[in-house]
Amino acid sequence: MGKKKSKSLIDPTRLEPVRTKDGLLQVIVETPKGSRNKFSFDTEQEIFSLKKVLPAGMVFPYDFGFLPKTLADDGDPIDVLLLMDEPAFPGVLVPSRLIGVIEGEQIDGKKRIRNDRLVAVADANHIYAMVRKLSDLPQQFLRELEDFFVNYHQLQGKEYKLLGCKGIAEAETLIKKAKKAA
């Protein structure tokens, strides 16, 4: 008797970006907070792989992930900066509340590409439990993020420019656009 192939979710990109029962984002973590390693999901092999290593002394300040079944202007699923108590692991699904979007543009030579990052708070957390919108975070938070993005892109020979921070309505519009593009 042949083995019956089990059904399991191997590819997290098949998940819906937003849970219908409660409206929470389904953020898939790629790179955990505090890591020098940049991971990404390889859709061809259906596995997370090491993409690059940051220089000594530089780490990801927060967990970074993506929303499945979306496509952003940079050709990848829409990025999510995820605020939570402790770092997660690559491949972990973290149900999260959307609090806004950091709009940015990367410049590679003469080519300008929007590279926005949704900002979300893990639904199960303590530290950020009271954060409901981007403006609830200190201005220093946004300045440090801008510095990180500028330096991160500079390592790749690209320029990054923060265009601004917008609220939940603008972030939801971005998600709808990225869902249609996928």
Tell me what pLDDT residue 3 has. Answer: 55
pLDDT digits (tens, 9 = 90+) for 26-44: 999 999 999 999 999 998 8
The distance in angstroms from the start CA to the end CA of the chain is: 40
| Amino acid found at 13 | T
pLDDT of residue 158: 87
Higher pLDDT, 143 or 53: 53
Provide CATH code, domain 17-103+114-136+164-181: 3.90.80.10
The confidence band for 125, taking pLDDT boundaries of 50, 70 and 90, is very high
Token pair listed for 138: 């200190």
Contacts 24+ apart (CB under 8 A), 144-151: 144/61, 145/61, 145/81, 145/102, 148/60, 148/61, 149/104, 151/58
Task: Name 142's Cβ contacts closer than 8 Å, sequence gap at least 6.
Answer: 102, 134, 162, 165
